[in-house]
Homo-oligomer: A and B are copies of this chain.
Amino acid sequence: MREEVQTNPHDLDEETLFVVSQTFKALGDPTRIRILNLLCCKEYSVNDIAEELNLGQSTVSHQLRFLKNLRLVKFRREGTTLYYSSADDHIMNLLHQAIDHAKH
């Protein structure tokens, strides 16, 4: 028999809550928003992202790992260079809805 934690019908189950909050947390940081927005239309190497957005290489790499763990980005290797691109159309769509909304 398994624990039934969820008792209130108007509340969300823990798993959903975790996934949703993690996803929005990913979108809740300016640096990650800038990276995702950049990756909207084409792939970029780590260094290109750092240059385009004026960020440190390490910062970009750390944030890409974060986004990769959530499967929001993916990459492909070419020699020593890794080309990152967006991986979740649905979440990218949410992001752009919010950006459009923010711009009025």
Interface residues of A (CB under 8 A from B): 8, 10-12, 16-30, 33-34, 37-38, 52-53, 90-91, 94-95, 97-99, 101-103
What residues of chain B lie closer than 8 Å to A20, measured between beta carbons?
27, 33, 95, 98-99, 102
The copy count of this chain in the complex is: 2
Beyond the given A20-B33, A24-B25, A24-B33, please list 16 additional residue pairs across the A-B interface where CB-CB is below 8 A.
Answer: A8-B52, A8-B53, A10-B38, A12-B34, A16-B99, A16-B102, A17-B34, A20-B99, A21-B28, A21-B29, A21-B30, A22-B28, A24-B28, A25-B25, A91-B101, A94-B98
Complex-state Cα separation, A24 to B95, whole angstroms? 9
